[in-house]
Structure 1
């Protein structure tokens, strides 16, 4: 009997194996075609299957873990920057200290985890959290980061996630929730705007006909339709528009530059997981109104009393001849900034300027033409080391705001 069930020659196994394979394929076809499997979200996965899926997710995350975290990962400025995004997007599913989770998202399977406790975050290292935020999770509602090459933004969110379990409800509300005293005058949506296509990392993924990559979009909070976008802007940039160090100081730029920059974010020509989400909701009328609103606010330096390093002044005004770099002022000076649509840097926050130059150096910023980045700042930043970047950022942070000049019909470079 045993020799019959377990033949010694391999050729004697071929027939039964082929028959078993055909039988399994036939069963699979029947299951798919009949629709007998219940894929509704009303029923949870069987316990064993759910454990298997989560174990597979854990192992995949560990295998594909992200790069080494930045040295200042736990700095307050990174945590505050990540809080702004979390409160706008992530808290809708994952809740926060002092807040539960929405019953709609808890009707999903798998359900989003409540992140304001030690267990979910403690299970993953910082590189693993980076991987989850950047790549998302298939077969769940966890999306990938919408802007590729913006690892700096992802690390800001990771910094906040690491701090979240020990955060008090008061601190969470202060960092991540828009308070009523930040509300400003309404910004009407305006007449029905023509829809315009925008670029996203997966906009050519089939079936293209099933999706609509066009602005304005219907957003998470509906702030644009409720004529309250400035309060949402205040979440990151503050009610005074000065940015708080982690985000750009909007009062330093002309309305033309601000409007063109918002338009570039909405179109996907300028990358940002933070800003594209916001800008795609705005109507052209709101973009124009917001640009004039922030340009009209009192202009102030982000870091009053800062000291300009001598090396930074040399780079800004004389360049780095040994590296073939012209002075920063040749593009970012007041006159040329007006004619070439480069941003004004005087009075901007040191941390923000240094971080953005490192983002240029890594290829995360720059004007996008097709699949290529075409921006002189990418090549320039790659010729500067960290010491030089910190110095020139310090120099511009110490300068009083430059005089704003208006210009027209020029797209922003970045």
Structure 2
């Protein structure tokens, strides 16, 4: 009997193994084709299976969490920047201080965790939180970060997640919640615009034919169709448009540059998990109106008119010929910047400018299909040290806002 069950020769195992495999395959085909498996979201996973899946998720996260947090991770500036995104997107599933989770979300399986409680966040290190936000989680509703190589934005959100369990409801509302009734002007969506192709990070993911990668999109919050666009912009850029230090000061830019930038975000030519989500919802009429609105606001800057001597001034005005870095002013000077759609840097916040230089260095800006496929800023940023980046950012932040000119004023395209 034992000899029959456990043959001594290896070849004698082939028949039983083949029969067992064929039987298992036949059973799988019957289960799949009959539809007997209940995939209804109305029924939760069995507790043992749910615990197993969560354990696999935790081990996978720990294994792949190798990102190094920035030195300024838990600073108020990063926390405020992360709050802007959390309030727009994440809070709709995970709640917030003073707010619970809605019943639609709680009908999902697995249910999104209530992140206001300290336990879900405290159970993960900063690199693990980064991994979850960046990569998402398969077989759940947790998506991956929508913009490639924008690790800076992900760290903003990680900083906020770490701070939120200790945050009061009033602080959460101030940082993350937009009040549509704050007196902001409205911008109508306008007549139905023509749909345009939108470039995604996963364009070739099957089944391609089932998805409409077109913009404008019907967004998560409906702010564009509801005409409360400026109130949404104020979440990051402030009611005065000055940006608060973590985001660009829109009052210092030209109308042409603002419109071109929003259009690039809407087309997927410029990457940002924050701005691509916003811009894809806007109609062309709203993009034009926003450019008009912010370019007409009083210019606001905390810059102290002064010259900051040293390496920052040298990089800005003379460059670093020894490492192949041209002067910043050769492109960002007033006249040339207007004609070539480069941004004005004078008076922008130093932290924001330095962060954007590091984004160029990591490939999060530039070198993308579409306009400027070989952006020189990528190579320039890679040739500068952190100290040089911080110095040139401080130099431009200390300068008074540049005089604004339009394309037409300088004969640009």
Would the TM-score normalized by the shorter structure come out above 0.5?
yes
Change (3 A) 1:302 1:28: farther
Q: Distance in 1 between matches of 2:181 and 2:243?
A: 16
Q: Secondary structure at the match of 1:103?
A: coil
Residue matched to 2:201: 201
1:314-354 Cα deviation digits (max 9, x unpaired):
11111112112221111101111111110000000000000
1:298 equivalenced with 2:302 (yes/no): no
Partners of 1:307 and 1:394 within 8 A in 2: no
Residue matched to 1:136: 136
Residue matched to 2:260: 260
Q: Following TM superposition, by how much is the alpha carbon of 1:183 offset from its aligned partner in structure 2, in angstroms?
A: 4.0
Q: Distance in 2 between matches of 1:34 and 1:229?
A: 49
Residue matched to 1:43: 43
Q: Distance in 1 between matches of 2:279 and 2:147?
A: 13
Alignment map for 1:239-250 (pairs within 5 Å): 239-250=239-250
Change (3 A) 1:11 1:372: farther
Q: Distance in 1 between matches of 2:228 and 2:304?
A: 30
Partners of 1:271 and 1:364 within 8 A in 2: yes
Alignment map for 1:140-289 (pairs within 5 Å): 140-179=140-179, 182-289=182-289
Residue matched to 2:313: 313
1:352-383 Cα deviation digits (max 9, x unpaired):
00000011111111152269952000001111
Q: Distance in 2 between matches of 1:393 and 1:140?
A: 41
Q: Secondary structure at the match of 1:369?
A: coil
Q: Following TM superposition, by how much is the alpha carbon of 1:74 offset from its aligned partner in structure 2, in angstroms?
A: 0.6
Q: Distance in 2 between matches of 1:124 and 1:36?
A: 38
Q: Distance in 2 between matches of 1:404 and 1:79?
A: 32
Q: Distance in 2 between matches of 1:409 and 1:269?
A: 27
Q: Distance in 2 between matches of 1:231 and 1:196?
A: 25
Q: Which moved more, 1:6-15 or 1:179-188?
A: 179-188
Q: Distance in 1 between matches of 2:191 and 2:83?
A: 33
Residue matched to 1:351: 351
Q: Distance in 1 between matches of 2:100 and 2:304?
A: 40
1:138-162 Cα deviation digits (max 9, x unpaired):
1111101110011111111111111
Residue matched to 1:91: 91
Q: Following TM superposition, by how much is the alpha carbon of 1:7 offset from its aligned partner in structure 2, in angstroms?
A: 2.3
Q: Distance in 2 between matches of 1:283 and 1:234?
A: 18
Q: Distance in 1 between matches of 2:207 and 2:161?
A: 34
Q: Distance in 1 between matches of 2:37 and 2:371?
A: 41
Partners of 1:270 and 1:367 within 8 A in 2: no
Q: Distance in 2 between matches of 1:52 and 1:408?
A: 63
Residue matched to 1:395: 395
Q: Distance in 1 between matches of 2:115 and 2:216?
A: 31
Change (3 A) 1:348 1:231: same
1:42-92 Cα deviation digits (max 9, x unpaired):
000111111111111111111111411111111111111111000000000
Q: Secondary structure at the match of 1:86?
A: helix
Change (3 A) 1:409 1:95: farther
Q: Distance in 1 between matches of 2:311 and 2:352?
A: 19
Residue matched to 2:330: 330
Partners of 1:178 and 1:235 within 8 A in 2: yes
TM-score, length-scaled by structure 2 = 0.96
Q: Secondary structure at the match of 2:45?
A: coil
Q: Following TM superposition, by how much is the alpha carbon of 1:166 offset from its aligned partner in structure 2, in angstroms?
A: 1.1
Q: Which moved more, 1:118-127 or 1:284-293?
A: 118-127
Q: Distance in 2 between matches of 1:169 and 1:264?
A: 36
Partners of 2:305 and 2:399 within 8 A in 1: no
Partners of 1:313 and 1:395 within 8 A in 2: yes
Q: Distance in 1 between matches of 2:286 and 2:207?
A: 32
Unaligned runs of at least 5 residues, structure 2: none
Partners of 2:121 and 2:161 within 8 A in 1: yes
